[in-house]
């Protein structure tokens, strides 16, 4: 049986030309701003499959079993010729009418003007109790208070810093987000993202919220097994839902990690009978799925800094070693060279940095918890230990230049800084959550 995506697809851009806006803090609800897109009545245009005729050789056979994307021969029947390993994706605008902006009233208090922050490296902190968001200078040790959320809102959980523009956001119940624009000193809400959402992640520029939806949400009329991934513009509350071919299992469901402003890296996509990692470009509604042999390995969900030197893929049942993949491997028609397979078959988590020569790793060992931290020797793929710490620690952030890692000890609730020489320093804000690091030029 020839199982494939339906062929009669209308080639239409989905969402385009999102306007960049100032610095935003995001709490459980999200903000919206002006964005334009090819649309009717304010709703992005649709790319959907026409009904398939089993007797028509130009269309694919409809099926509810997992199937590959278009074969090379079938691709010639699509409306527009695409580069090798680039595939169109079944998509629908969302919501079907209107937008998902929620201009509900709240009364946050804004602190220092972020435009006045001195140049240097910072940590972004969120207090667990007061929910205060602040910037801690790694150069001077001075803390600048940025935002006190409304008493009804949750503490921030994600932030974005893009060309001096920062977005901080927090999740609220039932899939809503609140966003805070620190430069314009405004806030707004967006949502819900999609029912039964697993994870929501802000794009590097803060223009999008990407969500992997639960398995019971399906695109009507799509004839292949899939998982729905939804993207909403934080500026307009308008976006699209994409049907990602999947074997739809708990173990191998797709993960989402942002690899660039408008491009998301989707792991474990079913392509021609095998699992691949694909880059989905929102505005073009296409996926680039190079055959890299990654199988069911997944990039860490969330935000992969576009400037990082590597994309890590963690081991799985089908990939016995962690691999570090150069970002160029996920660019259409770019040469893919230098994939590094790490030498040890342990549960080390690889953490790339903005310096391609510096890759950290951290591993929790049991049954009596011990955390080992170190660096990966890129020439050999081996792990060099810098510290062995009693207790359960997790990585919270990396210095903007890659020269240190910030780790959190759960029992003591103490934040530590680990330097390249193995030295440790206690940070003066116990209990505060480190959301990430950034640098002001």
Q: Is residue 365 part of a domain?
A: no
Check whether 421 has a pLDDT greater than 60.
yes
Confidence at residue 323, expressed as pLDDT on a 0 to 100 scale: 85
Q: Residues with Cβ < 8 Å from 89, sequence gap 6 or more? A: 47, 242, 243, 244, 280, 285, 286, 287
Number of residues that make up the chain: 441
Q: Is residue 57 part of a domain?
A: yes
Rounded to an integer, what distance in angstroms lies between the CA atom of residue 122 and that of residue 438? 5
**Nearest CA among 327, 295, 227, 275 for reference residue 68:** 275
pLDDT for 86-145, tens place per residue?
999 999 999 999 999 987 667 889 999 888 899 999 999 999 888 899 999 999 999 999
List strands edge to edge, sheet with 256-260. Answer: 86-88, 286-288, 274-281, 263-271, 256-260, 302-303
Domain count, the chain: 1
pLDDT for 294-341, tens place per residue?
887 888 877 666 567 888 887 655 555 688 899 899 999 888 988 888
Q: Is residue 339 part of a domain?
A: no
Q: Is residue 358 part of a domain?
A: no
Q: Is residue 178 part of a domain?
A: yes
Look at residue 258 and give its three-state secondary structure: strand
**Nearest CA among 364, 353, 439, 365 for reference residue 404:** 353
Boundaries of domain holding 185: 1-108+149-300
Q: Span 421-439, mean pLDDT?
A: 91
Pairing of strands 256-260, 302-303: parallel
**Nearest CA among 360, 286, 299, 363 for reference residue 326:** 299
For 303, the token pair is 């935000």
What is the DSSP-derived secondary structure letter of residue 298? B
Q: Is residue 271 part of a domain?
A: yes
* Termini Cα distance of the chain: 58
Mean pLDDT of the chain: 76
Q: Is residue 99 part of a domain?
A: yes
Q: Is residue 241 part of a domain?
A: yes
Q: Span 420-428, mean pLDDT?
A: 95
């Amino acid at each position: 049986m020839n199982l494939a995506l339906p062929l009669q697809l209308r080639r239409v851009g989905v969402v385009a030309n999102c306007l960049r806006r100032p610095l935003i803090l995001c709490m459980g609800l999200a903000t919206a701003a002006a964005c334009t897109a090819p649309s009717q009545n304010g709703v992005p245009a649709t790319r959907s499959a026409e009904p398939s005729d089993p007797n028509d050789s130009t269309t694919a056979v409809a099926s509810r079993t997992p199937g590959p994307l278009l074969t090379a021969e079938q691709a010639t029947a699509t409306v527009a010729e695409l580069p090798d390993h680039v595939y169109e994706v079944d998509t629908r605008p969302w919501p079907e009418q209107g937008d998902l902006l929620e201009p509900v009233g709240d009364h946050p208090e804004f602190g220092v003007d972020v435009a006045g922050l001195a140049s240097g490296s910072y940590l972004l902190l969120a207090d667990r109790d007061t929910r205060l968001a602040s910037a801690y200078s790694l150069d001077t040790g001075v803390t600048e208070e940025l935002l006190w959320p409304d008493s009804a809102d949750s503490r921030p959980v994600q932030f974005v810093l893009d060309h001096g523009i920062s977005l901080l956001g927090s999740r609220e119940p039932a899939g809503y987000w609140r966003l805070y624009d620190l430069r314009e000193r405004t806030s707004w809400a967006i949502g819900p993202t999609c029912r039964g959402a697993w994870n929501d992640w802000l794009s590097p520029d803060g223009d999008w919220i990407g969500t992997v939806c639960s398995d019971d949400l399906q695109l009507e009329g799509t004839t292949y097994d899939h998982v729905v991934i939804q993207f909403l513009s934080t500026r307009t509350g308008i976006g699209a839902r994409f049907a990602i071919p999947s074997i739809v299992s708990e173990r191998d469901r797709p993960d989402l990690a942002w690899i660039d402003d408008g491009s998301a890296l989707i792991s474990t996509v079913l392509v021609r009978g095998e699992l691949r990692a694909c880059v989905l470009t929102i505005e073009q509604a296409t996926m680039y799925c190079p055959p890299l042999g990654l199988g069911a390995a997944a990039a860490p969900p969330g935000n992969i800094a576009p400037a990082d030197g590597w994309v890590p893929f963690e081991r799985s049942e089908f990939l016995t070693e962690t691999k570090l993949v150069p970002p160029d491997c996920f660019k259409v028609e770019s040469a893919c060279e230098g994939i590094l397979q790490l030498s040890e078959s342990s549960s080390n988590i690889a953490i790339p940095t903005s310096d391609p020569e510096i890759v950290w790793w951290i591993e929790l060992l049991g049954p009596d918890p011990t955390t080992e931290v170190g660096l990966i020797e890129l020439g050999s793929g081996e792990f060099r230990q810098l510290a062995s710490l009693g207790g359960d620690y997790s990585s919270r952030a990396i210095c903007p230049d890659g020269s240190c890692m910030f780790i959190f000890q759960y029992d003591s609730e103490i934040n530590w800084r680990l330097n390249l020489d193995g030295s440790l320093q206690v940070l003066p804000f116990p209990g505060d959550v480190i959301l990430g690091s950034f640098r002001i030029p």
